[in-house]
Structure 1
Amino acid sequence: MNTFFVLYRKELLEMLRNYKWIWVPLVFILLGAMQPVTTYFLPQILAGAGNMPEGAVIEIPTPQGSEVLAQTLQQYNTLGVLIITLSFMAVISGERNSGTAAMILVKPVSYTTFVLSKWSAMLSLTAVAFTAGYAVSLYYTNILIGDVGAGGFWKSLLIYMIWLLFVGTLTVTSSALLRSPGGAAFTALGATAVLAIATSLFPKAMAWSPGKLTGLAAQSMQTGLWDEKTWMVVLLSFVIVALMIMISVLALRSKPSLDN
């Protein structure tokens, strides 16, 4: 356990040196603030865009606060997922290419501990960035649009955090399986897109798919419900995450270094 915390602290320090602890949360905060602010000032933005008849009045119904936060989650489902993937695409492949992984694993460090330390660091940064960004979105929504219930906010935050955990774990696994960080990012993004499309096209066959998490998070934000279906999707998502971690360990065990 002491070895795990040493490696985990090393990962956190490395992310600090790479400024990930600064720019990743800032991007999430910017995305979180963008949706309520844009929604509130949308009539003025359209009016200032020009090409409007003289005397035209733009009236856009003000959405509910829960709808604005649900739209914020859609922003994270594109740019947020991209940021997470690009941030961790080289988390294992980079050290395997340089031979650093082989040097570390020569010491009494298990493959499982090595992978879990990187996975935990990914989870820590993702959780902090998303929570900060979503909280900022809640703050501006309450000020500009209207009060939002705390119950729906926290439920949607937890559900969507599981989705980001799934995407981050998929990126770590791709980084363990592939030599190229770009290939790992492309694989993770492609698999995420295919999962989302398949879940949308085959809702009955993919009833428990992790791809349902994004929709369930938005639904929970608007209704505050967390039903049996949500629990089943969450449970299956954790099982798949555990399997991906095991695959990462096996891939690293087979060849710690990718040096020629």
Structure 2
Amino acid sequence: MSAVAMSAVPAGHQVLPDADAVARAAAERLVAVASARQGRLGICLSGGSTPKLLYRLLAGPEFREALPWERLHWFFGDERIGDGPEAGSNRRLAEEAFGDLVPGGHLHPIPTDRTPQACAEAYAAELVSWYGADQLDPARPLFDLVLLGLGEDGHTASLFPGKPEAQETEAWVVAVPEAGLAPFVPRVSLTLPALEATPLALFLATGAGKRAPLARLAAGEDLPAGRVRARGETVWLLDAGAAG
């Protein structure tokens, strides 16, 4: 990894050979988190090709028995909404990978069948119900682990550069009426305060398309992905393609 790119990520970053290795490293982190804690756990998922590899790995023979599925609750960092084929894509990704491993009521998808604002309000209410309060306590995380991706424009979840949603500091969930990248469909996204309310945030970045946003972060550009600071660790798992 170049010196420029290395300065774009925290000291705890890992450079791994390929996307499969990134998915495996993330799976091992998730198992470690689940093994270290008692009671229910909240995991916030992201969309994309690398998480797809991760979810299949978690549901496969190597990791399936290592996870306490009965204690895991799955949430989503963002979702595409509306009546188009893109709507609900992150939910479908998890459902198709996990199948019947997830007990009833343990998958918490973002609604997609209302206006963007109504979907955001409904998911905010879901998170408040899960958390048991409508204000975040610095001593108590919202999630036990947050998975994040890095867009080629530097976005994460559906917080796009130059859009007002990336500046939100109070609400946990926002409507995103206009996406910054294709597909240009309305979305709902968790905000930085919600994404950061975790002891561990894992960025999964794979492929040569991620070199440009990493270089922009290294140059000091203020991009949404670069603003995420988990309460404990913010770890970047990169493959050789992204690291350059």
TM-score, normalised relative to structure 1 = 0.23
Name the structure with the higher strand share.
2
In terms of Rg, which structure is larger?
1
